[in-house]
Chain A
């Protein structure tokens, strides 16, 4: 156990993976200096510039070269800086990384972890604030992971590197400084959600930074007589359908809350699946379909807080009484 920030936890997981397996390399812009969020701090000093590889600002080739490295037997951890910049590498992610193993009939694996932080980053405006997890969940072949805590950023990054699959690994830019005790012996399985709080009235599913807002909302709902079961999905694809269905079968109500835009967000997939399987009441909360504005009042329009979640929980319950 050691107290670590969300950034330090990921760094520790990567350091451990690189020590254990010579095939693991890290590459991307500014990684040699520790990465712009400190999530690679000290690694180049320890492993050398040959394994912690500084690259030009060439996102398409950072990702494409990582596919080539993987096909030639390495296990690259790929820095895209933010998901918004990973859009420069969409061919390499969607047509190459996700498809190669299948297209080649199982010749070659694309074992790589592409780190592309999501989330509104205060004052950073429309091209540094998107949460695009649903885009990647739509693509067969990709695993999509969204850690919400330092512990998960340690355990899930380790699991992602070990998985052998192309993993879209989405940290949240406003969680880098979050601290907690991290158990470095703990292991996590991709595709498994975690029930963070038990409840009997509503199942509240969330992921990434919104998990913390969801927990706060559950606290605020309790004195109002609403018992909320909070689930951190942790992995967007494959999402833990069993855990969510088991909870919703118990509570008979589902709310999904995510920071990303509500329209065609991944909450729609979860809500539809739960409604199809169980016929229970479902509701979604997500951002409005607007680019994130720079000015504080404009940025705030793209956010919602625990008060909004509590209101949505109340609506979900009151709607039945009508």
Chain B
């Protein structure tokens, strides 16, 4: 494998992945009993509602976002914690949002599926599959109108390529030569159905190439491969050559939502995926690059400590005031009319 990544950058990738993993493990634990579906009952839980985990997919978020500047923009999906953390959002404000507290990025109005941090260019996760694609395209178009040089990273899943906005958005970005890197984080499952069974042809990259948008397919569990492929694609995007697609093949280790036991899957398939965990793989690779075990352990421990502090802060934070249910909706007629 070509290895253009320095040890310092490699450690940064590892840090991002371990922070995502620690955050999601803690959020998963805090969500137990929080969803009235998949046989679970709706009981008191710190994190309410559906929580879509990207456990095992961290290499994609880390490997792409290491190439983004704070001023670059991003759209994400319902499975977006990893992208948000990798873009530089505060873990404490994310946990606050998952806990529904006023301290959260969205003041408790959005939760996991709508998490956003505009201060780092993270323009929102999205509860609708493929809905972030046109938004990313429009954000890139705004950069073009204003002659700004930033780019937009647009994350979506394998299920999204079967929705119309995938074709529409790629076509739009191509004809207007917009600076978008489309990232298909292909975890091979569309909710509780195998994507393969529902998808004709060869997937995201093949479809993109058919309309003249080049790209690369990469092992999404190899953070160094993701980072290496992204470096080249983003250089092309920044040069104004038009949009590019990164098709990263990974695997959704957890169920569709945190309380989904995913019993519809072949256990051996999951076992194989667990052996292909991107974090131990990166650990081994970093040792071979000269990192020490202590160094890597310190990074992991730091991530755990950061998440512990975020959990404590979120649990202690204030609830939003009920009046917040009526704000940030529209200014026209505000105060005159609630209906």
Q: Mark B81-120, 1 if CB is under 8 A from A, else 0.
A: 0000000000000000000000011111110001011100
With A58-B172, A140-B329, A238-B333 already in contact, the answer to whether A72 and B143 are too (CB < 8 A) is yes
Which residues of chain B are within 8 angstroms of A191 by Cβ–Cβ distance?
332-333, 336-337
Q: Which of B118, B127, B144 has the most CB of A within 10 A?
A: B118
With A56-B168, A74-B142, A107-B105 already in contact, the answer to whether A68 and B134 are too (CB < 8 A) is yes
CB distance from A127 to the nearest CB of B (A): 18
With A25-B145, A143-B330 already in contact, the answer to whether A105 and B106 are too (CB < 8 A) is yes
Residues of A within 8 A of B (CB): 25, 50-51, 53, 55-56, 58, 60-61, 63-74, 76, 91-92, 95-96, 100-108, 140-143, 163-167, 190-191, 237-238, 241
Contact sample, A vs B, 14 pairs, CB 8 Å cutoff: A50-B145, A51-B145, A60-B168, A64-B131, A68-B140, A69-B145, A71-B118, A76-B138, A96-B128, A101-B329, A103-B106, A104-B110, A105-B108, A166-B330
Interface pair B107/A58, CB less than 8 Å apart? no
Which residues of chain B are within 8 angstroms of A165 by Cβ–Cβ distance?
330-332
Interface pair B109/A61, CB less than 8 Å apart? no
> Bound state CA distance, A53 and B141, in angstroms?
10
> Bound state CA distance, A96 and B137, in angstroms?
14
Q: How many residues of B contact A (CB 8 A)?
A: 50
Interface pair B118/A107, CB less than 8 Å apart? yes
Interface pair B135/A105, CB less than 8 Å apart? no
Interface pair A164/B327, CB less than 8 Å apart? no
With A61-B172, A65-B172, A69-B141 already in contact, the answer to whether A238 and B105 are too (CB < 8 A) is no
Interface pair A56/B109, CB less than 8 Å apart? no
Interface pair A237/B333, CB less than 8 Å apart? yes
> Bound state CA distance, A67 and B116, in angstroms?
15
Interface pair A68/B171, CB less than 8 Å apart? no
> Bound state CA distance, A153 and B162, in angstroms?
40
Cβ-closest 9 pairs across A and B: A64-B134, A68-B138, A238-B333, A65-B138, A105-B106, A72-B142, A61-B168, A68-B135, A105-B107
Interface pair B336/A63, CB less than 8 Å apart? no
Interface pair A104/B139, CB less than 8 Å apart? no
Interface pair A96/B131, CB less than 8 Å apart? yes
Interface pair A68/B141, CB less than 8 Å apart? yes
Least CB separation from B126: chain A residue: A96
Interface pair B118/A108, CB less than 8 Å apart? yes
Contact among B128, B143, B336 for A95, CB-based, below 8 A: B128
| B203 at interface by CB-CB < 8 Å | no
> Bound state CA distance, A105 and B324, in angstroms?
9
Interface pair A163/B135, CB less than 8 Å apart? no
Interface pair A69/B333, CB less than 8 Å apart? no
Least CB separation from A159: chain B residue: B332
Interface pair A61/B169, CB less than 8 Å apart? yes
Interface pair A91/B332, CB less than 8 Å apart? no
Which residues of chain A are within 8 angstroms of B336 by Cβ–Cβ distance?
191, 238
> Bound state CA distance, A23 and B230, in angstroms?
32
Contact among A53, A69, A92, A241 for B337, CB-based, below 8 A: A241
Contact among A51, A68, A164, A166 for B137, CB-based, below 8 A: A68
Interface pair A69/B168, CB less than 8 Å apart? no
Interface pair A92/B127, CB less than 8 Å apart? no
Which residues of chain B are within 8 angstroms of A140 by Cβ–Cβ distance?
329-330, 339
Which residues of chain A are within 8 angstroms of B73 by Cβ–Cβ distance?
72
